[in-house]
Chain A
Amino acid sequence: MAASSRQSFGSVIAAAALAGCPGLLLAADPGPRAAVGQLVVSTGAGDGGLSLSGGRDRRQLVVTLATAAGQRLDDVTHRVEYAVEPPTLAAVENGMVVPRQNGSGDIVISLGQAGPSGSGPPPAAVRIPLAIDRIGDDPPIDFVSQVVPIFTKHGCNGGGCHGKSGGQNSFRLSLLGFEPAEDHEHIVTEARGRRVSLTAPRQSLLLAKATAKIPHGGGKLLAESSPDYELLLRWIEEGCRPSGSTPPVVTGIEVYPTERRLQPDGQQQLRVLARYSDGRVEDVTRLAQYEGNASELADVDEAGLVKVTATAADQRSGTVAVMVRFCSRVAVFRGVLPLDLPLAELPTEAEFVENLVDRHVLNHLRKLRLPPSPRCDDATFIRRVTLDLAGRLPTAEETRRFLTSTTAAKRNALIERLLASADYADTFAMKWSAILRNKRSDDELHRRGSYAFHAWIRQALAENRPYTEFVADIVTASGDVATNPPVVWYRQVNDINQQVEDAAQLFLGQRLQCARCHHHPFEKWGTDDYFKLAAFFSRVGRKPGGQPGEDRIYHRRGTPQAKGPRGVQQPAVLDGEPLAIASRDDPRATLVAWMADPENPFFARSLVNRYWKHFFAVGLVEPEDDLRITNPATNPALLDGLAAAFVESGFDLKALIRLICQSRTYQLASEPNAFNSEDRQSFSRYYARRLPAEVALDAVDRLTLASTSFKGMPPGTRAVELPDPNFDNYFLTVFGRPKADSACECERGSAANLAQCLHLINSEQVLSKLEGARARSLADDTARSAAEKITELYLVAFSRPPRPEEQTAIEAYVADRGDNAEAAWQDVLWTLLNTKEFLFNH
């Protein structure tokens, strides 16, 4: 928890001596200072103890037991015993303090017999002063801040229920409660007011449905004994009052703890406090919504209890983030689940760290006690880096040279060679062309423009233009396709909504689509933010271009603004104030200037995460273009470090790639060790992944020496060189080539499926490739031995020589088919290209 937060919520660390109670510790976030065997209780209140006001005030206590010096902090909120003195003052269940009557007293918390195993006597009980007042003098229920969250919590106003457009069974609520005034009207006055009954509140349709007393499509959502039911009932009893004209709004929520090391089979109770604009602070632990991002590690229930699903036997480690939402506000708890290994099992910095990537990765692995796999061998490296950087298999000759080279820095030299090659530009142009939606809606009319845009992208990458310039040229593109091919982006991304959404997703890692109609459910962005950003694109003008089907894009003079559901918005960057931009100035230039600002919190992070995923199959944030506070990076320090280095380099894409590829992390073996086979997010090993569709097709062609022809493209054109997706090819389709319909890299299918297997095993297209020149030349070649030929095949397919058993088996097979050598070699090729080793980058 940040220091400012600590201050703001008034949590303090109080030594046991302060309260005169040995072992008592009120803490915001107990850390290494906690003594072994101490109970640490977080109340979220000030140092004077816990004060509750009114019968509906609640407070979730979080009780932690320090079980090893600075090493383990176990949540025992649900294990300790709570006693209230006097007992009539309040009740405490699973740490939730519920007031019963006015007065003061103590809550005594003890571990009883459930002390840390083998660590001696149980810790001393903790006594917390408790003061309660205003029971029976509760303020009226506030519809916006108290009633609406109940609908949200139980999913009533979700998109799949009454929150969808048109509502459900004639009852409509605003999506996620972003329009509470409308919600009030729908509940109280619509349907002739039958949804609530002021004279018989318990008979209200609203309650009867929620408790399933009468049939309800959504089932039973509330128990009559639940606090939520009681609150709704009370609200009806009070006359279903709407909130005032300026109801208090939630200005922030805070989760406690924010980060905690978890244990196998362990759990962690969270507490969520909401701060309102009128200064109130309320415990909304039971009203908030929770969502975890790694169910293989931990789940979270609706009461905010995080339960680790991994057992000690699983030997799983990793991080889990729990997103907490309440009234459009979000907070995140981050749990770290380490292995039970001594640090000595992990490599030292000197052994592991090549550059900043490794430093951050190693720090993370040390937290997880997760030992990394060893460095991959040269054969694996040349294949891996050539596929990733150049989108192709290394040639047999390249592999031979590399494997026999004794130069110390040969890996770095290979990286440099590949970065300087045309193949690098082809490969990354393929990537960018797809997410920049470079495709043809009209095959004939758009062909010229799409080719030109692809060529421009390729050229920019080959020249290693700074990423800021690359993006600026696209976003501020003006002119026509002859002078400025990036204007083609505006052809496919042809309305202002698509422009703002694509630009945000592509270049800022922000998915703003939701915020076009309503407040983003998982983010802080609302419709105002959306249309403020959209205003930057409001002056994009179009004229007929020189090429049929292609517009000339220009800055149309005028005041930039965009009309959203809440009125006309002036341009403002995310988290920024509205800007006054002169009518003669292109607002897009202001936008890209902000993007390119080294202090921009989105721009560099978005790119480094995107590129990280290119090389590691998994982004530091997933999805790679959805960076938000509720979707934190698995290694935030690494993301920050990469972004800083990227900015420092002048937004040099090749430098970023160099940094990644030169790291030990990138060069780790994909084979797991005894501990990291389950690792999917900590990069303790290289995650093998299937080749992209285009690369796979080219690899098959390279292995078989067949060629795939693409209509209208020069002979010998490789799939990675295709300018757009408008080339029919079943192989590419079945292997998940993106259609360039959106700015999302998720369009590219990376899964392996049955259709792919069948296509490789027995499709006409692939079988015909076996008849390519490779098999024939091997059969006709009498100068070389079978062993030499097999070695060549293995170098081409796997970038390694064959193992003795492989050599023997193939030699025997070919010899056995001596009467038809070409067919025998075709069989060998068929076998090789159907191996995982061939189809995967590993």
Chain B
Amino acid sequence: MAGESSRETVRVIRTLLVVGGLCLLSGSAVAELPQPLLWSVFPAGGRQAATVEVAVAGVDLDDGRLLFEHPGITACPARPEPSELLPAPEPTPNRFQVTIDPAVPPGFYEVVCWSRFGVSNPRLFAVGTAEEFSKPVTAQSASSPLHLPLPATVNGRAGSGAIDHYAVDCVAGSQLQIEMAAERLDSRLTPVLKLLGPDGSLLATAGERPAGDPLISLVVPTSGRFQIQVHDLFMGGGNDWFYRLAVSATPAIRSVWPPLAQPEAEAEFLGTLQRTGLPTSRMPLQGSLARQPRTSWRRLRRLLSPHDVVGDLVDLGGPRLAGQASPVPVLITPATDAAVVIEHSGADVGTMTTVPNLPARVVGRWEPTAARHAYRFDATAGSTWVFDLFSRRLGCRTDPALELESMTVSASGEEIFKEVAFADDRPKAFAGKSVDGLGLDPVVSFKVPATGRYRLTVTNLDGGDRSPADYVLEIRRPRPDFDLLAFLAIVDRTDVNNKMRLATPSLVRGGTAAIDVLVLRHDGFAGPVVVTAEQLPTGVRAEPLVIPASSNRGSLVLEATAAAPASCRPIRLVGRARIGDAPRLRVARGATLRWPITSRKQPHQLREVAAVYTAVTSDVAAISVRPESPQLSIAAGTSHALPLAVTRTADSKGPLTLKATGLPKLLKVDPVTVADKATAATVKITADAKLPPGDYAVVLSGISKRMFRRHPEAAARAASERDRLKAVVAARSAARDQQQTVVAGFDVAGSEADSDGSQPSEPAASRPAAEKVLADLTAGLKAATEALARAEQRFQQRQKAAAAKQIDVPITLPPITVRVTPKPKPQ
């Protein structure tokens, strides 16, 4: 279900990109500033209280450190053992010792890599409770599967064209659950799970459908050794095709009833167990709601709902998959005076359940045979009610629709129904923008035309899933609100495929970084939102971003001072608005791509991130452009020339052209070209006479060119190490030469004795010892020489990498807030 939710939000974001006309920073194909990208952490998890050596793979991860979402998970770079030649070895690149505190609850936790060049995108790291194994090479043969106890977790990577084989022993009638984590770990693997019986017959298969990570759960029919096969659906494989396979004898909970709870409150639920090919069985559960659910279920679906409504039910007292939390989503909603109507299995239209009064919450379960429930209620003319249905957002694979009808009775006593409202998918969610397909959960705002009785029909249009599906219907007063989404990706608008790259804001000293912020408006909220950045690293600041009522997006620009120390931390983006008379504050959630988009046919796999990190590196910006004033006021129908201050270093090269994008049509900003070596420029801003008064954010951006040396410190370290080894080699060479002289002395002494027939002198008696010393010295010299050769090679590589080269650097200016005043009336 995680995948389902993810995909749904993917669609939403894609819609935003296409329809909303977002234009983020442009990328280009030429060399750019290094940007850390983290592709994999392997193994992608560990057991509680264990220390695991992990290898990370990615780009620009030099001198990286791993920062985990949970403070109980820490990592230190893995280093070779010190030796005589290398008394203080450099850390092994991209390898870390990860220590998991025993108190870390099982689940999925994000990890980022803070490197010399900034902070990477997050990846996920799982914490489990079962014994962990690494997939051996031999497991790719059916004849030598890895035998697993129950419970157990395997960390593996799919090989291209290969099948991984595992085996478990089970007795007839016992429960066997096999769960794959791949999509939830951001893996490229499209996993297929197969379970073969002791006779080799195929008992179950999962994964052919694009419905998230596969799971097989069944009661085994016979005793014996069962084979588990894992492979990529398309037989792909490689480092990025990583997975965790968990086997256990305890079933997972597929859903709970009712799917509605209050935060941090103890409640009783009826759990439905996940069982493949068997009737579902249910069991009572004691559950509580975690204050901070720490699971991979934090998907973007929450962004599609009123703030802080949908949550995850975790910490269930009942059975759970070994080693991996399997939370079940429920609607977490604070206690109100709304009546709660629970429809265990509503009858189809024809029988109606009465909702006694409004507001209300209706909890229902569609059975395959009755995917249409009807409710009746009374409403008073003039009142407005919002009917907001949660089902997809509860993780159910549904396509709900709402139909509202008035009910009257004819003279003959016959009930007459007349449709007054209908909603399938969510309607326009953005003020002033027509964005369809925002989500499949419908919402209807209904102003009651006449006092009387009404019928509400709740339908599931998705006839596929034969299992029951739940929903919660909120009938409430309109509750204008908004959510914020920080979108951590770069769209390459120069490419016809709209390639997208992962991006986490990293700043050089004196530089800037932009974060695109989307506003999701609910229940007709159409006011401006002021977005500010908080908890910024030292030396980093950001002008508030005003997203006007007419817009749903903007770019928040972070600026680092020239003296900002290198640092990395999660930041908070906060939106503030007035809704009615009350101030409203919302903290932005972050979303990232899981993998870069390189083809139009590639799915846009987005997911929510636990935190929006930012980092300041030790590099210095070659050019910095700032408006003289972050604000200006102009009257509609006039223009204003705003001076720009330009600061350069010697590394800055060539002219720079700055443009503003995403502006309303009636606000014109001329492109600005900052000439080479120029230290000032002017931007002309023109407000059309018809431009409505208000605040508008103008963000200028462009691509600058500069000379850049990649990681000169590493080259310096390599030079130092090379020089140290040179000295070692020289010293050892001298010692070896000296000992060679000693050994040669024995030869001279021997020949003299032979010639005069005298007995050998005293030192001649220790010649073997001298030769031994010489041999040792020679070996030591050889080892030092080889180490030196390696150090020289490393130095050359780093020196080459650190050579100055011209690169493109995207530059974004701090926003200019343009306050447009009404057009002056003619005298």
Contacts and interface: CB of A to CB of B under 8 A. Distances in A.
Interface of A: 421-422, 442, 444-445, 447-449, 451-452, 454-456, 476-487, 543-544, 546-549, 552, 554-555, 557, 584, 711-715
Interface string B229-268: 0010111000000000000000000000000000000000
Contact of B465 (A476, A477, A483, A552): A483
Contacts of B210: 448-449, 452, 481-482, 546-547
B825 interface: no
B422 to A, nearest CB: 7
B601 A549 contact: yes
B161 A487 contact: no
B461 A555 contact: yes
A480 B463 CA distance: 9
B437 A544 contact: yes
A543 B437 contact: yes
A229 to B, nearest CB: 62
Given A483-B397, A714-B231, A715-B163, A546 B464 contact: no
Contacts of A448: 190, 210, 233
Given A448-B190, A548-B602, A715-B161, 4 more contacts: A444-B599, A448-B210, A456-B209, A584-B457
Shortest beta-carbon contacts, A-B, top 6 = A484-B464, A479-B464, A483-B464, A455-B208, A546-B7, A479-B462
Given A554-B461, A715-B163, A479 B205 contact: no
Interface of B: 3-4, 7-8, 10-11, 161-163, 190, 201-202, 205, 208-212, 231, 233-235, 397, 399, 403, 422, 424-425, 437, 440, 457, 459, 461-465, 599, 601-603
Nearest to B602: A548
B209 A552 contact: no
B235 A714 contact: yes
Contacts, number: 106
Nearest to A454: B208
30 contacts: A421-B201, A422-B202, A442-B601, A447-B234, A451-B233, A452-B209, A456-B209, A477-B463, A478-B462, A478-B463, A479-B461, A482-B209, A482-B464, A483-B209, A483-B397, A483-B464, A484-B463, A485-B209, A543-B437, A544-B11, A546-B10, A546-B11, A546-B210, A547-B603, A552-B399, A552-B462, A554-B461, A554-B462, A557-B422, A712-B234
Q: For the complex, would chain B's binding face be called helix, strand, loop or mixed by DSSP majority?
A: loop
Nearest to A723: B208
B205 A455 contact: yes
Contacts of B8: 546
A554 B459 CA distance: 12
Contact of A479 (B201, B437, B465): B465
Contacts of A549: 601
Contacts of A444: 599, 601
A421 B462 CA distance: 32
Contacts of B161: 715
B138 to A, nearest CB: 16
Contacts of A711: 235
A419 to B, nearest CB: 14
Nearest to B422: A557
B231 A479 contact: no
A451 B602 CA distance: 17
Q: For the complex, would chain A's binding face be called helix, strand, loop or mixed by DSSP majority?
A: loop
Contacts of B211: 482-483
A552 B439 CA distance: 13
A126 B603 CA distance: 85
A478 B437 CA distance: 17
Nearest to B396: A483
A713 B425 contact: no
A634 B607 CA distance: 62
Contacts of A548: 601-603
Contacts of A449: 210
A658 to B, nearest CB: 20
B465 to A, nearest CB: 5
Contact of B463 (A422, A451, A476, A715): A476
Nearest to B163: A714
Contacts of B424: 554
B234 A422 contact: no
Contacts of A480: 462, 464
Given A442-B601, A455-B208, A484-B463, A478 B422 contact: no
Nearest to B8: A546
A479 to B, nearest CB: 3
A478 B233 contact: no
B464 A477 contact: yes
Residue among B161, B208, B602 with max Cβ neighbours from chain A (10 Å): B208
A476 B7 CA distance: 24
B625 to A, nearest CB: 39
Contact of B601 (A445, A584, A715): A445
A616 to B, nearest CB: 29
Contact of A713 (B3, B235, B462): B235
Nearest to B9: A546
A586 to B, nearest CB: 8
A584 B190 CA distance: 38
B56 to A, nearest CB: 29
Nearest to A547: B210
Contacts of B4: 482, 546
A296 B340 CA distance: 77
Nearest to A446: B601
A543 B8 CA distance: 12
